[in-house]
Chain A
Amino acid sequence: MRWGVVVFPGSCDDRDALRAVERAVGDEAVALWHKDRDLRGVDCVILPGGFSYGDYLRCGAMAKFSPIMEAVAAHARAGGLVLGTCNGFQILCEAGLLPGALVRNRSLTFVCDVVTVRVETSDTFFTYGCPPGDLLALPIKHGEGCYVADEDTLTALEREGRVVFRYTDRAGRAVPEANPNGALNNIAGICNEGRNVVGLMPHPEHAVERLVGGEDGLKLFRSAQAWVGRGAAGERRAQTVVPGP
């Protein structure tokens, strides 16, 4: 499987994303310059975290007009895999590849922490290997991570199982106290209708090493590899949560 990580001016998690791919799955990962128009045949494009274009105007507002974004949008429309973390998630929303928007944290402060997120669905390339209900510890670091969308969009996301990750406490309860930024319905990550575009505020690319950030990000990258490897005839995973003992 081939992976590409887009480098915008102001990206700062691109190196970690490249390294995470290498460490998690040993696949080839290439850096894609924002001025390029060619995705170099990658299966999955990662839009990394950071502060593209200095977060001017709105987070991700400038990056969506980068030359490479036309190729990313075409890739997404054709069913290609796209992952956005943090600023990458903001860019995907600004570009209209994911619904809703990410606004200033309700606390008005930048948050830097390790949070618990619950995997809500296995039916995306990035969560294929995680049972629904799986709890992951992932780092967050953002000032604008409060996910908002109009009521119709929110209802559709919930009904269609397109909320991919939700902030919870360590017991897996999506309580207000576990919500680091005020996101509606404790939403940490979502996918598009085709389920091939996933965006999340937490940083799985910073969680591939036991020494720093933990290793819970590994299974997400491995999920993508397994998803691609399962072939066209691969079955979709069951949506139901298997009750514990």
Chain B
Amino acid sequence: MPGVLARVYVTPKRGILDPQGKAVQHSLHVLGFGEVADVKVGKYIELRLRDVAPDGAEGRVRAMCERLLANGVIEDFRIEVAEERG
């Protein structure tokens, strides 16, 4: 069975203070990129899963996010899964 590459993007929830995003936005403005209206700094997590199909993988990765990879109080997450042939 082929493997699956799952990409997880964890970002600060809307309304939650993101001081890193604010600091980065400020620096970009200083550098002349005035068009930057908002910045969110999050995390990118890559998971390689073996012996699963993309269909089944998404639910499993979702469970991983809910239990460990993201904290639902402060973070949102988004998952992309793609088949990966060894």
Contact = CB atoms under 8 A, between A and B. Distances in A.
A146 B68 contact: no
A106 B17 contact: yes
A94 interface: yes
A206 to B, nearest CB: 26
A156 to B, nearest CB: 14
A57 interface: yes
Interface string A58-72: 100100010000000
A166 to B, nearest CB: 18
A24 interface: no
A108 B23 CA distance: 9
A240 B17 CA distance: 33
Interface stretch (B32-40, B52-60, B69-77, B78-86): B69-77
Interface in B2-22: 15-17, 19-20
Secondary structure call for the A interface? loop
A104 B73 contact: no
B74 to A, nearest CB: 5
A101 interface: yes
B71 A148 contact: no
Given A57-B68, A103-B74, A108 B17 contact: no
Contacts of A106: 17, 19
Given A148-B17, A182-B17, A100 B73 contact: yes
Q: How large is the interface on A (under 10, 10 to 19, 20 to 34, 35 or more residues)?
A: 20 to 34
A101 B16 CA distance: 10
A149 interface: yes
A43 B73 CA distance: 30
Contact of A57 (B15, B19, B69): B69
Given A58-B71, A146-B17, 15 more contacts: A57-B68, A57-B69, A61-B68, A65-B68, A100-B73, A101-B71, A103-B16, A104-B19, A104-B20, A107-B19, A108-B23, A148-B16, A148-B17, A148-B73, A150-B73
28 contacts: A57-B68, A57-B69, A58-B71, A61-B71, A94-B71, A99-B73, A100-B73, A101-B71, A101-B74, A103-B16, A103-B17, A103-B74, A104-B19, A104-B20, A107-B19, A108-B19, A108-B20, A108-B23, A146-B17, A146-B19, A148-B16, A148-B17, A148-B73, A148-B74, A149-B73, A150-B73, A182-B17, A182-B19
Interface of A: 57-58, 61, 65, 93-94, 99-101, 103-108, 146, 148-150, 182
Interface of B: 15-17, 19-20, 23, 68-69, 71, 73-74
Closest 3 CB pairs of A and B: A101-B73, A101-B74, A106-B19
